[in-house]
Amino acid sequence: MTRIAKTYHEETKNTKIENRESRIENRGSRIEDRGSRIARRSKALSSIFYLLSSILDLRALSFFVVCSSLCCSDLTGITAARQDPLLAERAYQDREILYELQEPQSHAFRITHDYTERKEGASHYFNVVRAGSRVSDPESVDLDTGENLKWETLSGKQVKERKLPLTDVNDGAEVVVTYLARPVAKDSSARLRLRETYTDPKSYYLDGEELVWDRTFGRLRNTVVLPPGWRLTALASPGIIQTLADGRVSVFVVNPRNDDVRVYLRARRRAAR
């Protein structure tokens, strides 16, 4: 019996070992299958990565081409500006305007802006006043010579009656006419600085204890300067705010659009010290 039990025990042990080896072989097969699937996935991912890399390379190449063309165009503009810096600088000045607000009870603000006349033979500059505003105290200066130029304020109807070279103007419009010192010669220009006081109760007024400025700007660079003793309390447009050397607060607004941008601000008088 002892021999039979021993033999049975050994056979059972061998069977267990064989079953364990079989399980190990099956596990090894499954691991191999998993490795094959991982390899196939890796190969697929490598193909996708290569394709994406190619696409990104093409995009990078396109971006490089676009940037190169832009840089070349910019360099062309810079070269032209270097060749004729006077005209380039004057073109820049045409796009700035300054509004100096007077006391809000007056609804008045002083405007300063430059203009470069390039049309050959031109002997006038016409500034058509915006509808709703009234103009007073114009000044016109020839910036090339410092000479004060002759000016007068006419209605659109008077401009037509005198047959001045201004088209598409309403009869009731106000027009500030500046007479150039001499007609613009060929391949030259006349640079002017104009100052005018506008009165417009609809765009500049008092609301309780706060002044309100609500006006649209058409130029690229616009600066609004508050009256002395006033501080900014609200601004509905992006802008750069600073205090000037004389203590007044200025608001600089850029209009990068092709149309007008509305600028709305409020200010309150500073408390007495």
Residue 24: per-residue pLDDT: 62
Q: How many domains does the chain contain in total?
A: 3
Q: DSSP characters for 114-149? A: EEEE-STT--EEEEEPPTT-EEEEEEEEETTTTEEP
Answer yes or no: do 194 and 205 share one domain: no
Q: Which pLDDT score is estimated for 67?
A: 40
pLDDT tens-digit profile of 168-210? 888 899 999 999 999 999 988 889 999 999 999 999 999 999 9
Across the beta sheet with 174-179, the strand order is 124-128, 174-179, 150-155
Q: Find the CATH number of the domain harbouring 125.
A: 2.60.40
pLDDT tens-place string over residues 202-240: 999 999 999 999 999 988 899 999 999 999 999 999 999
| End-to-end Cα spacing for the chain | 120
Q: Which run of H or E residues covers position 96?
A: strand 96-101
Among residues 198, 223, 253, the one where a domain terminates is 198
The secondary structure of residue 219, as a DSSP letter, is: S
- The answer to whether the beta carbons of residues 255 and 249 sit under 8 Å apart is no
The reported pLDDT for the residue numbered 87 is: 47
Does 130 reside within a domain? yes
* Amino acid letter, 8: Y
Please answer whether residues 194 and 117 qualify as being in contact, where contact means their C-beta atoms are separated by less than 8 angstroms: no
Q: What is the pTM of this model?
A: 0.65
> Would you state the pLDDT for residue 62?
39
Q: Which 3 state secondary structure label does DSSP give 111? A: strand
CB-based contact 248:228 (threshold 8 Å): yes
> Running DSSP on this structure, what letter comes out for residue 162?
T
**Within a domain: 89:** no
Please provide the average confidence, as pLDDT, over all residues in the chain.
79
Question: C-alpha angle with apex 91: 88 to 93, nearest 5 degrees?
Answer: 115
198, 226, 258 - which closes a domain:
198
The pLDDT score that the predictor gives to residue 118 is 87
**Together in a domain, 101 and 135:** no
> Residue for token digits 């190969």?
43
Residue with the two structure tokens 């810096």: 85
Residue 102's SS3 state is coil
Which parts of the chain have pLDDT scores under 70?
1-94
Torsion region of 208: left, alpha or beta (phi above 0 gives left; psi -120 to 50 gives alpha)? left
Asked whether residue 88 is assigned to any structural domain, the reply reads no
**219 within some domain:** yes
Give pLDDT, residue 168. Answer: 86
Of all helices (H) and strands (E), which one includes residue 254? Answer: strand 249-254
Residue 90 lies in a domain: no
Where does a domain end: 198, 214, 244?
A: 198
Asked if residue 181 and residue 115 are part of one domain, the reply reads yes
Q: What is the pLDDT of residue 240?
A: 95
For 163-203, the DSSP string reads T-S--S--TT-EEEEEE-SSPPPTT--EEEEEEEEEE-TTT
